[in-house]
Structure 1
Amino acid sequence: MSDTALSGSKSQTARNFFTALQLDTRLLGMIGAFIVLCLVFNVFTEGRFLTPRNIFNLTIQTVSVAIMATGMVFVIVTRHIDLSVGSVLATVAAVMAVVQTDILPQFMGLGHPVIWVLAILCGVVAGVIIGGFQGWMIGYLGIPAFIVTLGGLLVWRNVAWFITSGQTIGPLDDTFTMIGGIGGTMGETGSWIFGILAVAAALWLQIASRRRKSSHGFPVKPVWAEVTMGVITTAAILGFVAILNAYDIPKARLRRMFEASGETLPEGLTMGYGIPYSVVLLIIVAVVMTVVARRTRLGRYIFATGGNPDAAELSGINTRFLTVKVFAIMGGLSALAAAVAAARLGFSTNDIGTLDELRVIAAAVIGGTALAGGVGTIYGAILGALIMQSLQSGMAMVGVDAPLQNIVVGTVLVLAVLVDIIYRKRTGE
């Protein structure tokens, strides 16, 4: 057999392999680009980029943008845009900060165990109201989303300033700050338990999906392909847990933790941070949003409206009220992101969330959400957020100046849209 024939045979085998796995080729491309990006930065930082410490920091830095990016998918899929999410985040963060430091302590006292719950609840309600109001102006008054949310970008940023009187509010409630990242983690044992449960849930969903397809007469993957996907999923989840557990708590902090409980740190004892609570929150949001997108009437209406608004309206979908719902969801997710961002800082500052609207839109677009509407995935947006954060963090570690970082990010965003356009033309999507 000639070298050309052998090469063609191998290429065909590879295509058959990926076809049997039924993997999204665009997702594979994104994962490949992410891996290359990480390897390049790891070389330029002399191995510091892929350390457990940096990966841990990368995950907690990605969470707030990733949470909002899941909501931005719905907004862009319905052929709208939201330029106000960073400013809404600032307003809601200010609301939560004032509630937990000024209002609730007057009635419940400082440090009450319920304060953080009520603060987040107030923030989510405020975010939903703001998002719903903007959606109402877009859906019922017919004002373009670009104009409404551009106005919101200016309005809500300055509403936040008035709420806090231009001051930094803090320190925030100790329990509240635990959802910010390094201050609140599951520990090694808790992380392994969470990882095993996540593996069990993922494998159960895979089996249930196969049974459902088979019962309805739809084609299913070969058994070897199902097993391969199960192994990949298990390795990815447990590998992620192992990496985060490998980041050890500094000795000084570990000693203070033992002293606070009246104990002495045993000689030679080390403990890993494990999975941050903020990452757990992101996972919950991702699962819920994916279920909404794929398994609910609301999700079907969102994608149907984005695919063809006129046909959706003629089929009986109330597209105006749907717009209100989509922007209300975006506002609620902005509130959760605000809680994570403020908790990570331990304060609510005037510049919190600055330029987040651009990062969120970029994450959704890089993740495969089509600006023309009708197409987008939740997992793609989260991966897009991770790529964006990795790009910025890597450049910062290499020593690239901030202006050049923004130039690179802007260039990547334009290239991502170009690649998406070319991909959809070739695949006919």
Structure 2
Amino acid sequence: MSQTGTSDSQTSPSAVPAPTGFAALGLDMRLLGMIGALLVIWVGFALFTEWRFLTPRNIFNLTIQTVSVALMATGMVFVIVTRHIDLSVGSLLAVCSAAMAMLQTQFLPDLLGLGSPLIWILAVLAGLVVGTTIGAFQGWMVGYLAIPSFIVTLGGLLIWRNVAWYLTNGQTIGPLDPTFSIFGGINGTLGEGWSWIVGLGLTVAALVLLVQSRRNKAAHGFPVKPIWAEAALGAIFTVVILGFILILNSYSIPSRRLERQFEARGEVMPEGLEMGYGLPVSVLLLIVVAIIMTVVARRTRLGRYIFATGGNPDAAELSGINTKLLTVKVFAIMGALCAISAVVASARLTNHSNDIGTLDELRVIAAAVIGGTALSGGLGTIYGAILGALIMQSLQSGMAMVGVDAPLQNIVVGAVLVLAVLVDIVYRRRAGI
């Protein structure tokens, strides 16, 4: 996703020597470093918790806890890449959550009737409208009024949090629509069968993309990886995707909960039956959003404009890019993702609470930065931001299981953020980026 300079015009693609050995895999060394750090964190906490940290149950909980921040982190990549910042995402999540909760519990049931299937749909659409509109408005102030994004979104942090409070009169609103709650995690999973289908589909898609990428490079005369390297990457993707599905399917639904599910359908549960939860709907939603955001970043004009503007705003404007309108679009995308995140966060709680999204702005920025997004602009990846969110959540969950106090948890997370920025600076200096 990062913008890279072109090579000497006198050097043809075919003249570039193909990498050999481990380098032939073409893996991002910074990505490998983050994966290595994540594995160290997991193994470390596993040792301190007698391996409870790496049980299917905890991995399942870890994934659904990561989704909300990860969704917003994908949008924060675009914001930071364009040399801006958004401090209002936690408060924007709260106001979207409040709006959706009020619609589900007070307005739409009276209008459509209690239990109407349209309630959750209209509530989600309303949340998306609220989030996108607020995001676009903040982007307009940054782009067209030239108010620094730090100031605009700092004001938004205070404003939207308290707008959410007034919408609900400071009360916890719930319970939310049962169908809406499937986006929260444990209340909405695909089950073992559909999880395997999704996992196989993602695996096939990844392998097809590998083949297509190789063909495109060969067709344009660019060096291609050795067959063994392509096969190794395909094997890695397959093991990671299907292994993840296997772990989620290994987390069994408690027998009493399973009995209630059968009773709700008017059936009797077979004796000794065991079923796994499978892939949470919220995690599937994150996968879909990640794919869309990656396509936008890599394959669309909007994505090229975003990274070109972040790399050199003056040159981008002189080349004909409407950087003001682009800023509005980037913040509108961020607002829409805050609304989607509000769906996941409130559905997981099955209600709207006043403290929902508190400090999420710091977690989201930290996830993007830890994931390799440069605060100087122009560089960042969607998958890096998601991995950064997973690292953050792993630290917090692991420390909670070990018994570390909340204040110390925040100290550790803050220290990790500063360390991540330092490592990123050193890495980019050595790499000449």
- In the superposition, the TM-score normalised over structure 1's length comes to 0.96
**Equivalent runs, 1:65-84 vs 2, <5 Å:** 65-84=69-88
**Equivalent runs, 1:369-388 vs 2, <5 Å:** 369-388=373-392
Which amino acid counterpart does residue 341 of structure 1 have in structure 2?
A
Separation in structure 1 between the aligned mates of residue 431 and residue 27 of structure 2, nearest angstrom: 15
Which amino acid counterpart does residue 128 of structure 2 have in structure 1?
V
Separation in structure 1 between the aligned mates of residue 376 and residue 404 of structure 2, nearest angstrom: 34
Deviations 1:46-98 (A, max 9, x none): 11000000000000000000000000000000000000000000000001111
Q: Give the 3-state SS of the residue equivalent to 2:53 in structure 1.
A: coil
Separation in structure 2 between the aligned mates of residue 272 and residue 189 of structure 1, nearest angstrom: 10
In the alignment, which residue of structure 2 is the partner of 1:215? 219
Residue 18 of structure 1 pairs with residue 18 of structure 2: no
Query: What is the deviation of 1:283?
Result: 0.1
Structure 1 residue runs of 4 or more that deviate by more than 6 Å after TM superposition: none
Q: Residue 293 of structure 1 is aligned with which of 286, 292, 297? A: 297
Deviations 1:357-383 (A, max 9, x none): 000000000000000000000000000
Deviations 1:367-421 (A, max 9, x none): 0000000000000000000000000000000000000000000000000000000
Structure 2 residue runs without a partner (length 5+): 1-18
Query: What is the deviation of 1:16?
Result: 4.2
In the alignment, which residue of structure 2 is the partner of 1:349? 353
Q: Residue 320 of structure 2 is aligned with which of 296, 316, 319? A: 316
In the alignment, which residue of structure 2 is the partner of 1:425? 429
Query: What is the deviation of 1:17?
Result: 3.0
Q: Give the 3-state SS of the residue equivalent to 2:54 in structure 1.
A: coil
Return 296-305 or 95-104, whichever deviates more.
95-104
Q: CA RMSD in A?
A: 0.8
In the alignment, which residue of structure 1 is the partner of 2:12? none
Which amino acid counterpart does residue 310 of structure 2 have in structure 1?
G
In the alignment, which residue of structure 1 is the partner of 2:173? 169
Deviations 1:118-139 (A, max 9, x none): 1111101110000000000000
Separation in structure 1 between the aligned mates of residue 342 and residue 221 of structure 2, nearest angstrom: 45
Deviations 1:94-117 (A, max 9, x none): 011111111111121111112111
Which amino acid counterpart does residue 119 of structure 2 have in structure 1?
I
Q: Tell me how many residue pairs correspond in the alignment.
A: 415
Deviations 1:138-177 (A, max 9, x none): 0000000000000000000000001111111110000000
Query: What is the deviation of 1:18?
Result: 2.6
Residue 97 of structure 1 pairs with residue 88 of structure 2: no
Separation in structure 2 between the aligned mates of residue 164 and residue 138 of structure 1, nearest angstrom: 29
Separation in structure 1 between the aligned mates of residue 218 and residue 75 of structure 2, nearest angstrom: 32
In the alignment, which residue of structure 1 is the partner of 2:7? none
In the alignment, which residue of structure 2 is the partner of 1:279? 283
In the alignment, which residue of structure 1 is the partner of 2:308? 304
Separation in structure 2 between the aligned mates of residue 102 and residue 262 of structure 1, nearest angstrom: 31
In the alignment, which residue of structure 2 is the partner of 1:368? 372
Q: Give the 3-state SS of the residue equivalent to 1:174 in structure 2.
A: coil
Return 63-72 or 218-227, whichever deviates more.
218-227
* Identical-pair percentage: 73
- In the superposition, the TM-score normalised over structure 2's length comes to 0.95
